[in-house]
Amino acid sequence: MPPRPDRPLASVVALLLALAALSGCGASGSTASSEIAVTVTRDFGSTSVVDLPRERVPAPPGLARLLERHGGVRASDSLFVNGIRADEPAAELGVHGGDRVWLDRHETRLVKATPAVVGSFPEPFVRGIGGKRLPVRVECDDPRGSPCSAVSEKLVSLGVVAGRSVISRSAADDSVRILVGEWKRVRGREFEADSIDEGPRSSGVFARFDETGDRLIVFDAAGRPARALGAGTGLIAATAAPERRPVWFVTGTDAAGVAAAARALDESVLADRFALAISLDLPVAVPQP
């Protein structure tokens, strides 16, 4: 896969939405209920190996056999279904119509397991988990603010009914949540936010904000700080605590960063990303190559 061009996100999103309107349907509706989409990448999604948008739903161990044709699954690989790390080996994993299966081959000693990724958007919001569509909540520092509205409207355009509220520390339930707001106002208000502040080893997200929340530090796969991004920086990331559903973050260093992250909540921008930072309205890979 050739390097991703550094085109402003607003232009990319506008172009792709226009193309989707002309075709009469969005890309998220391209997989029939009797089919799954299978993607294999290398190095945290930076290089495409194979893209199979329409595969018949296999019964176990059919998924393992399918992946075996493209090199099999190694211990260091990450296998996700609808953006959530698979709890079972591929040979035992049951998938359902419309699921997005993503295998990424990479090497890292920093993170044992990445629990959730953003690169299968609009999953898990549309199809859910295990064939079951789950409740979705958008929780915002400012529920009346434009980033909160943009995230909610994006989900509505995908046919997802989502509740909207202020951010609150939540007990484990079946909901998939998106937290929207400046990091300095999000941090400390949720278990998963605490794990991102603790760093990649805890959250599986190769980025963390500094103590002030004014800078985002992006790491490479070895856990070394690679870039420090300041004002106007956004972040879209997902993680999950044990026994809890994934929590997504649409956040940033300031209001401009949150707005940039909200604009980037699009399938074309997030495809094959473990997480995504936005700086000067341009995408920044997380982790850095």
- pLDDT value, residue 74: 86
Residue 2 resides in a domain? no
- pLDDT value, residue 11: 54
Q: Are 159 and 241 found together in one domain?
A: yes
- pLDDT value, residue 27: 38
Residue 50: closest CA among 62, 61, 41: 41
Percent of the chain with pLDDT over 90: 78
Residue 74 resides in a domain? yes
At 253, list the tokens.
């260093």
Residue 86 resides in a domain? yes
Mean pLDDT for the stretch of residues 205-223: 97
Q: For residue 95, give the CATH number of its domain.
A: 2.170.130
| Tokens 């997504």 sit on residue | 248
Residue 240: closest CA among 249, 251, 252: 249
Confidence of residue 2 (pLDDT cuts 50, 70, 90): very low
Q: Are 162 and 84 found together in one domain?
A: no
List, for residues 67-81, the tens digit of each pLDDT value: 999 888 888 889 999
Mean pLDDT for the stretch of residues 102-108: 94
Q: Are 196 and 256 found together in one domain?
A: yes
Residue 248 resides in a domain? yes
Q: Are 249 and 168 found together in one domain?
A: yes
- pLDDT value, residue 10: 58
- The average confidence (pLDDT) of the chain is 89
CA distance 172 to 170: 6
The parent domain of residue 57 ranges over 28-105
Least confident window among 19-23, 103-107, 139-143, 222-226: 19-23
- pLDDT value, residue 26: 37
Q: Are 87 and 220 found together in one domain?
A: no
List, for residues 115-170, the tens digit of each pLDDT value: 999 999 999 999 999 999 999 999 999 999 999 999 999 999 999 999 999 998 77
| Tally of domains in the chain | 2
Q: Are 80 and 150 found together in one domain?
A: no
List, for residues 247-283, the tens digit of each pLDDT value: 999 999 999 999 999 999 999 999 999 999 999 999 9
List, for residues 182-202, the tens digit of each pLDDT value: 999 999 988 999 999 999 999
Q: What is the 3-state secondary structure (H, E, C) of the chain?
A: CCCCCCCCHHHHHHHHHHHHHHHCCCHHHCCCCCEEEEEEEECCCCEEEEEEEEEECCCCCHHHHHHHCCCCCCCCCEEEECCEECCCCHHHCCCCCCCEEEEEECCCCCCCCCCECCCCCCCCCCCCECCECCCEEEEECCCCCHHHHHHHHHHHHCCCCEEEEECCCCCCCCCEEEEEEEHHHHCCCCHHHHHHHHCHHHHCCCEEECCCCCCEEEEECCCCEEEEECCCCEEEEEECCCCCCCEEEEEECCHHHHHHHHHCCCHHHHCCCCEEEEECCEEEEECEC
pTM for the full predicted model:
0.88
List, for residues 221-254, the tens digit of each pLDDT value: 999 999 999 999 999 999 998 889 999 999 999 9
Q: Are 239 and 165 found together in one domain?
A: yes
